[in-house]
């Protein structure tokens, strides 16, 4: 197989993402990979020391990092699983995981989470790593804020140091639409610098030291940028039924802009057209174009009705229905079933049973906001030629920039925004989502096969969040008293 590792090999002085051990009793590794020079970490009821990685937590175990543009404008929030499943800062590096599937990078960027049976409240915490199984909370989440549209995007800065040989990293992440606007796509840019000082690697003279790639041996074209498989996708070994809204994947095709004279590596990964799915129009052919339409923001998040089939708030509930207009211009708003039932209205008798049964509850369908990304990052030569080189520490930094692309259509708000359903059923479960910050709590750890198993798609996306939100979310929380569900990532 040929991908970025070999295309950047043979360098005299190569490098890798910096790794340190946080100053905690359980000695978590992967700390200091994320520079956090433009991040303000908030720990509810506690503290975080970015220099040492030491932290204290409040009773809720929640935390989030506000990412800014270097001038104080917040462009995103990054969070992770609440303690004891996760811990600050929310992003780490893993090196040398030899249990990944053959041909995959043995290194990765991922979130700071721990495995079931090895959480932080136990004697021997076991961190999630690159090869960890399906639904083990591997993706870090970048909740893009309005400031990311107003400025140049979201800049995550990482520290690198010299090493032997170039190093490939599989990146486990999501970008989530909290911009308050519809989006029609995104860009991932690789370079150095922050805010107005950012330069892509090719401009900074680092095209032989940094690269993005999407190797065909690892990813199919429809694997690079996708919404929840449980909402949109065919049945497979993890999901015995097609997605709730349809069997076709939702998301974007992408294109990698190659370096001059190179093939398959570059510093710009951009969305092109959508994959084609029922996301564009629900119900298909007859629903309002703006019901979902282009990539929804959190301000217009739709409501769903969910069934907790195992009584465990930490596992995934099943999406049973969603609230919306039954057909364009009809003015009829109702709870509708999914694609398998032809998007038929939920019978009144069923709604009455759901209302009486505490296993059913309403929540926001957050995975309509959340896009999983899959790509490889390669670090080659790291030396004093880098613009960000620090002689004292013998390290440098690079930047991953995520740019939301504003929707150019004229579609307005979904019609359901002005038509609130009756008061949703309250189970009494105030529901810690297991997430901190403005992020989803689906189980989408890896849309593609990274562990030797089949593709690892996300759940139905019936998650809730701890971030105050506007639009539907604020209206629901203030006026409707929505119950939330604890979700497993």
Encode pLDDT of 355-372 as tens digits.
999 999 999 999 999 999
pLDDT of residue 164: 78
* Distance of alpha carbon 171 from alpha carbon 93, whole angstroms: 10
In this prediction, residue 237 has a pLDDT band, given cuts at 50, 70 and 90, of confident
- Residue 375 and residue 171 in contact, taking contact as beta carbons nearer than 8 Å: yes
- Residue 98 and residue 159 in contact, taking contact as beta carbons nearer than 8 Å: no
Residue 314: exposed, middle, or buried by beta-carbon count in 10 A (0-12, 13-18, 19+)?
A: middle
Q: Is the peptide bond before 84 cis (omega within 30 degrees of 0)?
A: yes
What does the DSSP 8-state code read for residue 424?
Answer: P
Three-state SS string across 121-179, please? CCCCCCECCCCCCCCCCCCEEEEECHHHHHCCCEEEEEEEEEECCCEEEEEEEEEEECC
Mean pLDDT of 134-147: 94
Mean pLDDT of 301-308: 96
* Distance of alpha carbon 199 from alpha carbon 76, whole angstroms: 20
The least confident of 198-207, 266-275, 292-301, 303-312 is 303-312
Given a cut of 80, whether residue 484 has pLDDT beyond it is no
Q: Mean pLDDT in the chain?
A: 86
pLDDT of residue 262: 92
pLDDT of residue 311: 83
Domain boundaries, the chain: 14-480
In this prediction, residue 13 has a pLDDT band, given cuts at 50, 70 and 90, of low
223 or 487: which leads in pLDDT: 223
CA nearest neighbour of 176 among 140, 226, 142, 227? 142
- Residue 485 and residue 428 in contact, taking contact as beta carbons nearer than 8 Å: no
CA nearest neighbour of 178 among 135, 156, 214, 149? 149
In whole angstroms, what separates CA 231 from the centre of its chain?
15
pTM here is 0.88
pLDDT of residue 108: 98
Residue 2, number of CB atoms within 10 A of its CB? 11
**Helix (H) / strand (E) containing 183:** strand 183-192
Given a cut of 80, whether residue 210 has pLDDT beyond it is yes
Given a cut of 70, whether residue 418 has pLDDT beyond it is yes
pLDDT of residue 238: 82
Mean pLDDT of 429-438: 42
pLDDT of residue 89: 97
Given a cut of 50, whether residue 449 has pLDDT beyond it is no
């Amino acid at each position: 197989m040929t991908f970025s590792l070999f295309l950047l090999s043979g360098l005299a002085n190569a490098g890798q993402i910096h790794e340190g051990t946080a100053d905690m009793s359980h000695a978590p590794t992967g700390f200091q990979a994320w520079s956090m020079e433009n991040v303000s970490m908030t720990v509810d009821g506690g503290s975080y020391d970015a220099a040492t990685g030491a932290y204290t937590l409040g009773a809720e175990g929640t935390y989030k990092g506000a990412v800014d543009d270097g001038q104080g404008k917040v462009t995103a929030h990054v969070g992770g699983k609440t303690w004891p499943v996760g811990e600050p800062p929310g992003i780490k590096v893993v090196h040398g995981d030899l249990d990944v599937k053959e041909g995959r990078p043995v290194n990765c960027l991922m979130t700071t989470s721990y495995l079931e049976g090895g959480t932080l409240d136990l004697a021997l915490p076991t961190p999630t790593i690159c090869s960890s199984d399906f639904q083990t909370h591997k993706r870090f989440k970048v909740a893009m804020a309005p400031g990311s549209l107003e400025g140049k995007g979201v800049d995550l800065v990482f520290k690198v140091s010299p090493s032997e040989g170039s190093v490939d990293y599989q990146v486990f992440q999501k970008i989530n639409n909290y911009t308050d606007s519809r989006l029609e796509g995104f860009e991932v840019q690789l370079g150095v610098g922050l805010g107005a000082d950012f330069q892509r690697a090719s401009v900074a003279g680092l095209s032989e030291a940094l690269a993005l790639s999407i190797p065909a041996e690892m990813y199919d074209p429809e694997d690079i940028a996708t919404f929840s498989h449980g909402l949109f996708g065919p049945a497979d070994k993890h999901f015995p039924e097609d997605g709730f809204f349809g069997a076709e994947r939702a998301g974007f095709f992408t294109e990698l802009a190659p370096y001059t004279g190179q093939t398959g590596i570059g510093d710009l990964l951009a969305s092109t057209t959508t994959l084609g799915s029922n996301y564009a129009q629900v119900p298909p052919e007859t629903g309002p174009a703006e019901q979902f339409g282009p990539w929804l923001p959190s301000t217009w998040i739709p409501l769903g009705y969910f069934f907790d089939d195992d009584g465990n708030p930490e596992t995934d509930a099943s999406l049973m229905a969603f609230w919306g207009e039954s057909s364009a211009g009809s003015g009829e708003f109702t709870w509708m079933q999914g694609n398998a039932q032809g998007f038929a209205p939920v019978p009144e008798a069923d709604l009455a049973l759901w209302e009486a049964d505490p296993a059913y509850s309403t929540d926001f369908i957050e995975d309509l906001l959340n896009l999983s990304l899959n790509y490889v990052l390669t670090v080659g030569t790291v030396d004093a030629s880098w613009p960000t080189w620090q002689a004292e520490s013998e390290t440098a930094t690079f930047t991953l920039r995520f740019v939301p692309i504003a929707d150019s259509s004229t579609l307005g708000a979904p019609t359901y925004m002005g038509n609130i359903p009756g008061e949703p059923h309250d189970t009494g479960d105030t529901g810690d989502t297991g997430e901190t910050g403005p992020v989803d709590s689906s189980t989408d750890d890896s849309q593609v096969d990274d562990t030797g198993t089949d593709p690892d798609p996300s759940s139905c996306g019936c998650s809730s969040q701890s971030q105050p939100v506007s639009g539907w979310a604020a209206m629901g929380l203030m006026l409707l008293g929505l119950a939330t569900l604890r979700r497993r990532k």
